[in-house]
Amino acid sequence: MPNFSVPAASLAAALALAGASPLATPVVASPVVASEPDEILLQRAGEADFILLGENTHGTREYYHERARITLELVRAGEVRAVAIEGDYAGGERVNRYVRGLGGDRTARQALSSFDEFPAWMWRNQEFETFVEALRTINLERPPEDRVGVYGIDVYDLAGAADAVVAYLKARDARAAAQVERAYSTLTRHGREMSGYARAVARGGSQQTEAQAGVRALAALPPLQGEDAEARFAAERAAATVVAGEEYFRVQVETGYSWNARDRRMAAAAIAVHRHVNRTGPDAGVVIWAHNTHVGDARETSMQERGEVSLGQLLREQGRAYLVGFFTDGGQVMAAEEWGEAPRVHRVRKSLPGSHEYELARGADRQVVLHDPAPASTAKRRLQRAIGVVYLPHQEREAHYIEATPERQFDAVIFVRHTNPVRPHARATAAVRAN
């Protein structure tokens, strides 16, 4: 494969845009044996600024259950103030309001309905719905200032984020709102897929300056005295998401590959969330739900050889992060056969001999494997499965395996031998065609 070294904005620039400052004390992983691994995992996770909980597919029920269990335990213990997801801004903000006891939604299912773009089943499913209801129940027993929020930190939702910025400005400064709306119009008219913008970029028509309009307008419009901090932060994150989305689609056109732009922006968003929720009170962590390829440290995988970085790597470099990978040997998964197509249940093939999962399958049906912070001298690189929203079992080796050293890639690994598909809401399984 070619070397996909992306000339995207540096993390430092992204952090500056997000209003976040770097942290300190990186964590490096290597093997250790523990007698009570679940308890030790929770203890170590609770000491981190960022607790990244992965998945090696986007459609596995057990991963949602495990992540919900860990997250809710940390929330109850007061170790976590926010949950950030590999999901869209607008969908995340609607859920954020619901779990805080705000907004007009009466159920978690209603609150999740804004996740209406491919792959909607990632978040519009019974497993995540149950988690959202549980988090709301915990929150409503607490004063508003102590409630734990949910934030979408992905870059795709440029249009939804732009609408949120304009709506916020209209309530504060109609003239600024009109100016930003005009600037955004060159971007928002293309919709989520941004194929029209891609053609404009190819012709030399980049709208980088226009994407910054919301950030500039908010900077010139300081928060009102007594203004709800959560509403202001939502507007700032929306403006940053417009910038991130524009960069993602532009870099995709300019280089053919925008992985790094996406993960750098997600890292900046996560740090901004951490800074926001810890502006008052004792310091607490942010849990992040994302795919293993984002959660794990890319420096310990074949991704590095393609010039790729990862969210987990960037947060390790910037602060105290605890990275947890999730794996299975086989079972079933909810996935599409092509981007934008309706998902279906697929049988997951048994892991390849010599792979990380193959080795784990020699042990118990469920395992929690911990890694000590000391360097690993005996760690070896081996195959590791990574299924996204698309599953191509007939191209299993080529499409769904990377090479990795898991003892360094993750601080802990949770293995479930046989897994089942998520149960999506009825309207979350429709095909989505590119515009």
170-229 per-position pLDDT tens digit: 999 999 999 999 999 988 877 666 767 777 777 777 788 999 999 999 999 988 888 899
pLDDT at position 193, please?
A: 66
Q: Report the predicted TM-score, pTM, of the whole model to 2 decimal places.
A: 0.90
Lowest mean pLDDT among 3-17, 84-98, 219-233: 3-17
Q: What is the DSSP letter of 223?
A: P
Structural contact between residues 71 and 45, judged by C-beta atoms closer than 8 angstroms: no
How confident is the model over 276-333, as pLDDT tens digits?
Answer: 999 987 789 999 999 999 999 999 999 999 999 999 999 999 888 999 999 999 999 9
Classify residue 171 by burial, with Cβ atoms within 10 Å: 0-12, 13-18, 19+. Answer: exposed
pLDDT at position 373, please?
A: 61
Pairing of strands 382-385, 401-404: antiparallel
pLDDT at position 256, please?
A: 84
pLDDT at position 255, please?
A: 86
Write down all domains in the chain, each with its CATH number in brackets.
11-155+258-323 (3.40.50)
pLDDT higher than threshold 90 for residue 110: yes
Classify residue 83 by burial, with Cβ atoms within 10 Å: 0-12, 13-18, 19+. Answer: buried
* Mean confidence (pLDDT) of the chain: 89
Residues in Cβ contact with 313 at an 8 Å cutoff, skipping those fewer than 6 apart: 296, 297, 298, 299
pLDDT at position 434, please?
A: 37
How confident is the model over 23-60, as pLDDT tens digits?
Answer: 333 333 334 333 489 999 999 999 999 999 999 999 99
pLDDT at position 387, please?
A: 97
pLDDT at position 273, please?
A: 98
Which regions of 227-295 does DSSP assign to beta strands (E)? 285-289
Q: Quick one: angle between helices 11-18 and 229-255, nearest 10? A: 150
Lowest mean pLDDT among 153-157, 249-253, 422-426: 249-253
- Per-residue b/e over 151-167, b at no fewer than 16 CB within 10 Å? bbbbbbbbbbbbbbbbe
pLDDT higher than threshold 70 for residue 125: yes
How confident is the model over 257-266, as pLDDT tens digits?
Answer: 899 999 999 9
How confident is the model over 394-419, as pLDDT tens digits?
Answer: 999 999 999 999 999 999 999 999 99
Structural contact between residues 286 and 81, judged by C-beta atoms closer than 8 angstroms: yes
How confident is the model over 338-393, as pLDDT tens digits?
Answer: 998 999 999 999 999 999 999 999 999 999 999 986 555 667 899 999 999 999 99
pLDDT at position 171, please?
A: 94
pLDDT above 90 coverage of the chain, percent: 76
pLDDT higher than threshold 80 for residue 123: yes
What is the spatial distance between Cα 83 and Cα 251, in angstroms, rounded to a whole number?
A: 28
Q: How far is CA 168 from the centre of its chain?
A: 24
Average pLDDT over residues 106-119: 95
Q: Please name the residue ranges forming H helices in 102-228.
A: 108-111, 126-139, 158-170, 174-188, 195-202, 208-211, 213-219
Average pLDDT over residues 97-107: 96
- What confidence category does residue 94 fall into, taking pLDDT thresholds of 50, 70 and 90? very high
